[in-house]
Chains A and B, each alone.
Chain A
Amino acid sequence: MSVLVVAEHDNSEIAPATLNTVTAAAEIGGDITVLVAGSGSAAAADAAAKIAGVSKVLHADSAEYANGLAENVAPLVVALATGYSHVLAPATSFGKNVLPRAAALLDVQQISEISGVVDADTFVRPIYAGNAMATVKSSDAVKVITVRTTAFDAAASEGGSAAVEAADAKGDSGLTSYVGAELSSSERPELTSAKIVISGGRGMQNGENFAMLEEVADKLGAAVGASRAAVDAGFVPNDYQVGQTGKVVAPDLYIAVGISGAIQHLAGMKDSKVIVAINKDEEAPIFQVADYGLVADLFEAVPALSKELDG
């Protein structure tokens, strides 16, 4: 067996999601090759070579890979996939965009967002917003898989010494072009890999009130998240959304503030180790999954929490 992991990176650093994907690859077994497709991405390729457990890095460095456009990356993955038993990518917006395109070109039915490896052909994946877990077996010659990163530990980013080999670029498809991006910048940890997450919902009432959560987040070293309702209402940007159709998180501590606990929200956070809910409605469904529930008005409880953390 041999596994090709399609790395997510920003041309200089490897995204943490890649490390979780390498662990999933290790559970499948066999040699692990990491593909770094980028432009001016030597630093990312070198970083990939240091990941523990990786035996080879394939480095395709060319202008058409600068922004990870699926139309350009997928044919590269397809060209390299023969020779591997499995092709993996993290189930991030990058992996979800690129990998199904490669799978279709390979005539393979992709297995999306696996949360467990049973054996080389058989995988567990959540369906119906995580309300059911399906065990599926693939008969395709190459298995094409995206990985739910919260279900696998991160591989060590240091300790490996893989060889970096250049891979031929496949050219620009000419179908799409990159215009630009508006990325949220924050000093806080990244939502999907933070140890602590504090999220606000519709109960926050407006974007300014999120400052209360940010204050607590900074005291705890936490990331800030939100429910769909809070994002739809424009309190916070889209990349804050936790849930079935947003980001999946599984921190050591998840604090839900003014969030009712709809199935779609729970789907994104119910694998957190410890869940705290602050809600003024004691009947709110969020309390059914909370380890510690506080029935209180958040406008009193959150400032009090911030103060208590100083003590």
Chain B
Amino acid sequence: MKVLVPVKRVIDYNVKVRVKADQTGVELANVKMSMNPFDEISVEEAIRLKEAGTATEVIAVSLGAQQCQETIRTALAMGADRGIHVLHDGDLEPLAVAKMLKAVVDKEQPELVILGKQAIDDDANQTGQMLAALLGWGQATFASKIEMGDGEAKVTREIDGGLETISLKLPAIVTTDLRLNEPRYASLPNIMKAKKKPIDQYSPDDLGVDPAPRLETLKVEEPAKREAGVKVADVAELVSKLRTEAKVI
């Protein structure tokens, strides 16, 4: 069974994001970029399936600028077998990403595609669901446990009320939540080995997809700032302020 893992290059989660003065977006120049943390979880899960003998090959795919190859290399260093890079320099929206991933799925015929539940930059939380729709496959979003069976998978999902379990026919789409696993760090020998693993490159054109965005970003602004508060000396002062000043209790 082949497993396909889309990995997105995003601003590192530790970076304090700054809005550009001209309100066209956020500052990306000289900012540390990393693999979307949810995608690290996806790669880890795919590699574990391979280690368990369930998966035969793990393919990491990234869509975007040339530097996405670094993100693919990270996945290869963790243990993915090969990479696919769809080179595109402009903005990409989830629908276009899903269409291109569908084209990759049509070529590669994986039985399972594991995506992150959301990318921590645009926070869209759409791509996996859209890909499932375009393929006509079942989807298990926000997964915290995956059990592979014969021609099907049982997935536990993190939902607002607690946990839910569904069973899906394969091939299927899974999107990962935080508690699915703890991703490994790549060892130095594996980082060296990853340099020799193959990465195929395509253009959106090769895949027959028009990547033009449907949404126009009119402006990007700073959120409203909170006024600095005060320190209280003790619990008595806190409760009295909450009662008489803030009037919230």
Contacts and interface: CB of A to CB of B under 8 A. Distances in A.
23 contacts: A74-B133, A96-B129, A101-B132, A112-B123, A112-B125, A126-B223, A128-B11, A131-B222, A132-B221, A134-B220, A175-B138, A176-B166, A178-B166, A181-B163, A181-B165, A182-B163, A238-B163, A238-B179, A252-B248, A282-B231, A288-B228, A293-B230, A296-B235
Nearest to B216: A137
Task: Name the residue among B160, B222, B223, B226 with the largest chain A CB count within 10 angstroms.
Answer: B160
Chain B interface category by residue count: 35 or more
A182 B156 CA distance: 10
Interface of A is mostly: mixed
B137 A108 contact: no
Contact of A273 (B130, B165, B223, B248): B248
A134 B132 contact: no
A100 B159 contact: no
A95 to B, nearest CB: 10
Contacts of B249: 196, 220, 253, 309
Interface in B95-140: 95-96, 98, 117-118, 120-134, 136-140
Contact of B219 (A135, A173, A244, A288): A135
B133 A105 contact: yes
A109 B160 contact: no
Contact of A70 (B136, B139, B177, B230): B139
Interface residues of A, number: 91
Interface in B193-233: 213-223, 226-232
B81 to A, nearest CB: 28
A113 B124 CA distance: 8
B226 A289 contact: yes
Contacts of B98: 104
A276 B238 contact: yes
A25 interface: no
A211 interface: no
Given A274-B248, A308-B236, A131 B16 contact: yes
Nearest to B14: A263
A104 B162 contact: no
B210 to A, nearest CB: 11
B245 to A, nearest CB: 9
Nearest to A124: B221
Contact of B179 (A71, A136, A231, A288): A231
Contacts of A112: 123-126
- Highest count of chain A CB atoms <10 Å: which of B127, B129, B136: B129
A178 B249 CA distance: 42
Given A70-B129, A104-B133, A181-B163, A93 B238 contact: no
A15 to B, nearest CB: 9
A181 B95 CA distance: 30
Contacts of B231: 282, 287, 292-295
B223 A132 contact: yes
A224 B235 CA distance: 19
Contacts of B220: 127, 132-135
B161 A183 contact: yes
A96 B179 contact: no
Nearest to B214: A109
Contacts of B138: 71, 173, 175-176
Contacts of A183: 161-163
B208 to A, nearest CB: 15
B178 to A, nearest CB: 6
A22 B249 CA distance: 29
B54 interface: no
Contacts of A276: 238, 242
A235 B167 CA distance: 28
A132 B219 CA distance: 10
A28 interface: no
A97 B117 CA distance: 10
B239 A308 contact: yes
Contact of B221 (A102, A133, A179, A239): A133
A129 interface: yes
Contacts of A274: 242, 246, 248
Contact of A93 (B159, B169, B216): B159
A238 B248 CA distance: 28
Interface in A157-178: 173-178
Contact of B162 (A100, A127, A237): A237
B158 A292 contact: no
A62 interface: no
B222 A253 contact: no
Nearest to B158: A238
Contacts of B217: 134-136
Contact of A107 (B95, B163, B227): B95
